[in-house]
Amino acid sequence: MSAATSIDAAFRALGDPTRRRVIEQLSLRPASMTELSRPFAISLPTLSKHLGILEKSGLVRSAKVGRVRTYQLVPGRLKSAESWLTEQRTLWERRLDQLDEYLATLKEEEP
Amino acid sequence: MSAATSIDAAFRALGDPTRRRVIEQLSLRPASMTELSRPFAISLPTLSKHLGILEKSGLVRSAKVGRVRTYQLVPGRLKSAESWLTEQRTLWERRLDQLDEYLATLKEEEP
């Protein structure tokens, strides 16, 4: 996956409240599907579909130990999405600062 | 729109490279559709569809002055998405720090 494709998949995966709740839980600790299902009133097959989307997006990975599959957060992909957003906000705030300075200059020039 | 619904729409809208390029341009300055179309090899109707999705998600708003419609960034929605991501990363890093401390304690207890 290219950088653009991977960030696409990350943002799309985050555009769903169930998947964000899963990420919130995995930010605290790794968890099995049964543990992850507790706060939700959804079936295991539906949760499994969401977990599949999260794994495919690279936000989450899983490993099977014995009979239990454990899910954990992959922070790199979250970090890329966060960095992109921070960059846009910074650019936007810089532009606002420049407008502020410009307005101040205009005021100083007033008779 | 509830907070969850609006953040859903924001993340989904950001999961497309054309729409992210539009946001990147609007972080620098407001722009008309013609200006926004310049870096892209896409038709105006396709770009218009993307702009519609961005406006509906609350990331962008537009106003018509005379015959030209100008698009600009609405930073609040971007900020919500960024804050959510920052919170998850912070929780995850705190957990790693706790694991570090725990491992350090184990080492100290070694004979």
pLDDT computed for residue B28 by the predictor: 93
- The stretch A14-26 carries a mean pLDDT of 96
Nearest to B73 by CA among B86, B82, B62: B62
Residue for token pair 């810089």: A94
pLDDT computed for residue B50 by the predictor: 97
Alpha carbon A62 to its chain's center: 18
pLDDT computed for residue A105 by the predictor: 86
Measuring CA to CA, how many Å separate B91 from each of B1, B96, B97? 27, 9, 10
- Top pLDDT among A75 and B111 is at A75
| H or E segment and range at residue A61 | strand A60-65
Residue A9 one-letter amino acid: A
User: Given an 8 Å threshold on Cβ–Cβ distance, is B12 in contact with A15?
Assistant: yes
In this predicted structure, the answer to whether residue A1 has a pLDDT above a threshold of 70 is no
Nearest to B38 by CA among B22, B49, B54, B50: B22
| H or E segment and range at residue B72 | strand B68-73
User: Given an 8 Å threshold on Cβ–Cβ distance, is B92 in contact with A75?
Assistant: yes
Strands ordered across the beta sheet of A31-32? A31-32, A68-73, A60-65
> Which positions in chain A touch B75 (Cβ < 8 Å)?
89, 92
pLDDT computed for residue B32 by the predictor: 94
% of chain B at pLDDT higher than 90: 68
> Which positions in chain B touch A11 (Cβ < 8 Å)?
11-12, 14-15
- Top pLDDT among A106 and A8 is at A8
User: Given an 8 Å threshold on Cβ–Cβ distance, is A23 in contact with B75?
Assistant: no
- Top pLDDT among A108 and B70 is at B70
pLDDT computed for residue B41 by the predictor: 86
Contact A19, A50 (CB under 8 A): yes
CA A4, CA A7: separation in Å to the nearest integer? 5
CA A33, CA A24: separation in Å to the nearest integer? 14
| Per-residue pLDDT tens over the stretch B57-99 | 999 999 998 899 999 999 999 999 999 999 999 999 888 888 8
pLDDT band at A111 (very low <50, low <70, confident <90, very high): low
Length of chain A: 111
Residue for token pair 């396709």: B46
Contact B18, B42 (CB under 8 A): yes
Output the average pLDDT for chain B: 91
ipTM, interface predicted TM-score of the complex: 0.84
In this predicted structure, the answer to whether residue A12 has a pLDDT above a threshold of 80 is yes
| Per-residue pLDDT tens over the stretch A39-95 | 888 899 999 999 999 999 999 999 998 899 999 999 899 999 999 999 999 999 988
CA A52, CA B39: separation in Å to the nearest integer? 34
